Amino acid sequence: MSCCGGALATSLALETLDPASALRAEELMRSGRANQDGTVQYVFSVPDISCGRCMATIETALAPLDGVVSARVNLTMRRVTVVLDAADRSPLVISDALERLGYGATPVDIGDLDDLGRQRESAGLLKALAVAGFAAGNIMLLSVSVWSGADAATRDLFHLVSALIALPTVAYSGQVFFRSAFGALRAGRLNMDVPISLAVVLALAMSVFESMTGGEEAYFDAAVTLLFFLLIGRYLDQRMRERARTAVIGLSRLAVKGASRVEDGELSYVPLDEVRPGMILRVAAGERVPVDGVVVRGTSDLDRSLVTGESAPFAASGGDRVEAGTLNLSGSIDIEALATAEHSFLADIIRMMEAAENGRGSYVRVADRMARIYAPAVHILAAVTFVGWLVATGGDWYAATYAAIAVLIITCPCALGLAVPVVHVIGAARLFENGILMK
């Protein structure tokens, strides 16, 4: 990934770190990918990214760092892509900066197809959704009895039973929102989960107060049902993110793990990242071409639909150029490698697809700018509503609090920040499925 001088500088830099930090820095550097212009690209998985304000906060914090060429946040995939200007730049400063902002960051090997983390996240959301739905249904049944004119003793009993159901439900099912909101507040910023969490907690607290003081109205059903519907949206959004990755994952699966090298008449296995230009590689029938090359021996039919879009086999013989990812259909051929795997045709296509995901068109940029000011605007509006109701009702804090909660709830803080970027990514994936690559 770097020249000898860069490797020496990196080694010297690592020696100045404590053992734990040095090990972490080395792990981060292994996840980077060298570009042809000498820069190095790193991708971090940041699960706590939830809105346009998160994107603005991260990009604004990373861009001024020494050595950073570009920093892009992909809201749909919850990934941060950073390009450093040289191979001897330690990506540890990026990881540390994200940690200081309150975001846990994990380096992503660009060639790694393991989506276990996304599967676990989906499973966790589904469990939280099931618990919230079950609790909402039962609390709603109790609320029907209360709203139907039950006497005071029955009403108070049902309120207490509802509280016993709602409190653990909100504590469990609301974790996805509470963790995100707490992380944002700890870093001194706001995101779109803050008003959601604030509204749910206030509604729950007011309802508990009503139940303990024998009040007539409690809104446990509203608090839990709100969580239920928010979790439906969050789960569907997560599933859509996974589907949006299908195109890139499908392309990545075309890359082989290694190649058969021909040297002095003998075959030996070579890991893909060790293939170098000039090596003679053998591609048997049914195998995919590992790197870009030129046929030096043998003839065969190749499926080059990935390159040309043409379904008819291509008859390849001596002197013909073949691209990484194309499928050898019939005979065995020997090719001379023309490029490494990371600079092959297939790698370029994957990079362009990832760029299409990370890039932002004019509509996405407008949505980002509006989403940045949305969360503060919601809190300001709720505060103004609270004060306004206090004045209008002569100091009735009870009515003013419920009015402020209503403002926090009825706003839709995620639609703008999520819908436009997701549509952008889904559009790029659908176009690719139809043979059109969007840069």
Tens of pLDDT, residue by residue over 158-190, are 889 999 999 999 999 999 889 888 887 887 777
Residues 231 and 365 in one domain: yes
Domain boundary among 291, 314, 342: 342
In a domain, 371, yes or no: yes
> Which residue range(s) make up the domain with 16?
4-107
Band of residue 413 on the pLDDT scale cut at 50, 70, 90: low
Residues 79 and 22 in one domain: yes
In a domain, 351, yes or no: no
Domain boundary among 292, 309, 342: 342
- pLDDT number for residue 295: 92
In a domain, 189, yes or no: yes
Is the pLDDT reported for residue 135 higher than 90? yes
Residues 52 and 102 in one domain: yes
In a domain, 350, yes or no: no
The answer to whether the beta carbons of residues 51 and 375 sit under 8 Å apart is yes
Band of residue 27 on the pLDDT scale cut at 50, 70, 90: low
- pLDDT number for residue 166: 94
Band of residue 129 on the pLDDT scale cut at 50, 70, 90: very high
User: What's the domain count of the chain?
Assistant: 3
Band of residue 130 on the pLDDT scale cut at 50, 70, 90: very high
- pLDDT number for residue 128: 93
Residues 365 and 240 in one domain: yes
In a domain, 438, yes or no: no
Largest CA distance in the chain: 95
- pLDDT number for residue 367: 52
Residues 103 and 82 in one domain: yes
Band of residue 362 on the pLDDT scale cut at 50, 70, 90: low
Is the pLDDT reported for residue 33 higher than 80? no
In a domain, 354, yes or no: no
Is the pLDDT reported for residue 353 higher than 90? no
Which CATH number do you get for residue 47? 3.30.70.100
Tens of pLDDT, residue by residue over 258-309, are 888 888 888 888 888 888 999 999 988 888 899 999 999 999 999 888 787 7
Residues 338 and 222 in one domain: no
- pLDDT number for residue 118: 62
Residue identified by tokens 């840069």 is: 439
In a domain, 213, yes or no: yes
Residues 231 and 371 in one domain: yes
- pLDDT number for residue 56: 83
- pLDDT number for residue 44: 87
Residues 127 and 239 in one domain: yes
Which CATH number do you get for residue 308? 2.70.150.10
| Average pLDDT over all residues of the chain | 78
Is the pLDDT reported for residue 134 higher than 80? yes
Burial string for 98-135 (b: 16+ CB within 10 Å, else e) reads beebbbebebbebbeeeeeebeebbeebeebbebbbeb
In a domain, 137, yes or no: yes
3-state per-residue secondary structure call for the chain: CCCHHHHHHHHHHHHCCCHHHHHHHHHHHHCCEECCCCCEEEEEECCCCCCHHHHHHHHHHHCCCCCEEEEEEECCCCEEEEEECCCCCCCHHHHHHHHHCCCCCEECCCCCCCCHHHHHHHHHHHHHHHHHHHHHHHHHHHHHHHHCCCCHHHHHHHHHHHHHHHHHHHHHHCHHHHHHHHHHHHCCCCCCHHHHHHHHHHHHHHHHHHHHCCCCCCCHHHHHHHHHHHHHHHHHHHHHHHHHCHHHHHHHCCCCCEEEEEECCEEEEEEHHHCCCCCEEEECCCCECCCCEEEEECCEEEECHHHHCCCCCEEECCCCEECCCCEECCCCEEEEECCCHHHCHHHHHHHHHHHHHHCCCHHHHHHHHHHHHHHHHHHHHHHHHHHHHHHHCCCCHHHHHHHHHHHHHHCCCCHHHHHHHHHHHHHHHHHHHCCCCCC
* 148 compared with 210, residue with greater pLDDT: 210
Residues 372 and 232 in one domain: yes
Residues 300 and 367 in one domain: no
Domain boundary among 107, 131, 159: 107
Residues 236 and 124 in one domain: yes
- pLDDT number for residue 11: 43
Residues 261 and 229 in one domain: no
